[in-house]
Chain A
Amino acid sequence: MANQNGETSLSVLTSGWIKQNPTFVQVLGLCPVLAVSTNAENALGMGLATLGVLAISNLFISFVRNIIPNEIRIPVYISIIAAFVTMVNLLMHGYTYNLWVSLGIYIPLIVVNCIPLGRAEVFASKHGPWKSFLDGLGMGIGFLGAIMLLGITRELFDAGTIFGYRIWPSAYNVFVVALPPGAFLVIGLYMGLFRYIGKMRSQKKVEGDESK
């Protein structure tokens, strides 16, 4: 019964990393990815906060999925997610105050991020708690990876540092990357790059099949 669609726990966990990456493949939840990826530290904080909310809300929604009436499921999901986001918001206010200040309104805005609601609707409402938790974890890791990639790239080109460690002298900086337009530019170029890599790999596969 656990493998009804050929889904093993491992494949559920890893599908969000690259194949179904929420940012680069599904193009969901872009607001925080673009807005708080100005440096690596903010990106890490945002990524972890979203990961936590995703995994826990998926788990909880999966537990209560059979007692929610179908007609009002979306408001119920939003309320559950909002409750967990409130907890994360208060926790970050208490323990990581500086990070909380620099992330600003983007922490409460995790509520309306399409990823937790999307996963609740598509996955957690149809699967058991363990799988749903893994799915949330996997998607969260995919999101964390994407936002970290952007954060590291933008900090590197803006300040020549990664997490504050200097990589190259500040004379080589391209300051537009840290401005709002830079976010669009960097994510656009990465998307083009990933598509190029995907195309190259599929071409290689075709050539390999022909030579057999």
Chain B
Amino acid sequence: MNANFGELFALMFSAMLVYNFLLSRFLGMCSFFGVSQKIDTAVGMSIAVIFVMVASGISAWVLNLLLIAWNLEFLQILVFVLVIAALVQFIEIFVKKTNPVLYNALGIYLPLITTNCAVLGVVLLNLNQSYDLMQTIFNTVGSALGYALAIILFASIRERLSIDELPPVFEGMPAAFITAFVLSMGFIAFSGMIKV
């Protein structure tokens, strides 16, 4: 293990807070606005995304070695999308067999992760930065935790907001965007914390 742990943790926290996937990189927006009406669904979605992100991050890193070895880099996008789709299917079957309670709680969100850009996003970012395996793992875990943090915070605010009175033209989607604006401003403050 050549990279020291301090650097790896700095990488993880900067992926989680400073370059938060939802609030500063805008990856995974559909789920951010789609499943954030209730805290329960947001928590379920976060768990599913953490699973899929970490699994696909690691397997994409391994597969990329093969692609490079065979000079097939131009197939990267196609291969990674199919790997993610297969992994989502696999995890769905696995969770269904081993933990039916969790499976029912996640419901439709599990298959939908295939088209969640956060998963493909983290895979591509890891490759662009040419991280080694440890860096890939820490960056992926940090990104996944950041996703969970942001969507759960956002869902909490929206749940509270839904019982408030708002100007009629801003009810629903526009209010959600303005809320995201305020939340994102909060996360900007973290950028002074870690410089990578």
Assess the A109–B178 pair: CB atoms within 8 A: no
Q: Is the interface of B mostly helix, strand, loop or mixed?
A: helix
How many residues from A make CB contacts under 8 Å with B? 43
Q: Is B77 interfacial (CB-CB < 8 Å)?
A: yes
Could you tell me if A35 and B77 are in contact, using CB atoms closer than 8 angstroms? no
- Residues 165-193 (chain B) with a chain A CB within 8 angstroms: 167-170, 173-178, 180-182, 184-185, 188
Stretch at the interface among A135-143, A164-172, A177-185: A177-185
Q: At the interface, yes or no: B96 with Cβ under 8 Å from chain A?
A: no
Given A105-B124, A113-B117, do A82 and B81 touch, yes or no (CB 8 Å)?
Answer: yes
**Chain A residue, CB-CB nearest to B84:** A112
Residue of B with least CB distance to A85? B77
Chain A-chain B contacts (Cβ-Cβ < 8 Å), number? 119
Find chain A residues with CB under 8 A from B185 CB: 176, 181
Known pairs A27-B33, A109-B121, A113-B117 / 8 extra A-B pairs, C-beta < 8 Å: A31-B29, A35-B26, A83-B78, A112-B115, A181-B23, A184-B178, A191-B174, A195-B170
A-B contact pairs, 20 of them (CB 8 A): A28-B30, A31-B26, A31-B28, A79-B82, A82-B82, A86-B77, A105-B121, A108-B77, A108-B120, A109-B27, A114-B115, A179-B188, A180-B25, A181-B23, A184-B178, A184-B181, A188-B176, A188-B180, A192-B169, A192-B174
Q: Which residues of A contact B (CB under 8 A)?
A: 27-32, 34-35, 74-75, 78-79, 82-83, 85-86, 89-90, 104-105, 108-109, 111-114, 117, 176, 179-185, 187-189, 191-192, 195-196, 199
Chain B residues proximal to chain A, CB less than 8 Å: 23-30, 33, 74-78, 81-82, 85, 114-117, 119-121, 124-125, 128, 167-170, 173-178, 180-182, 184-185, 188
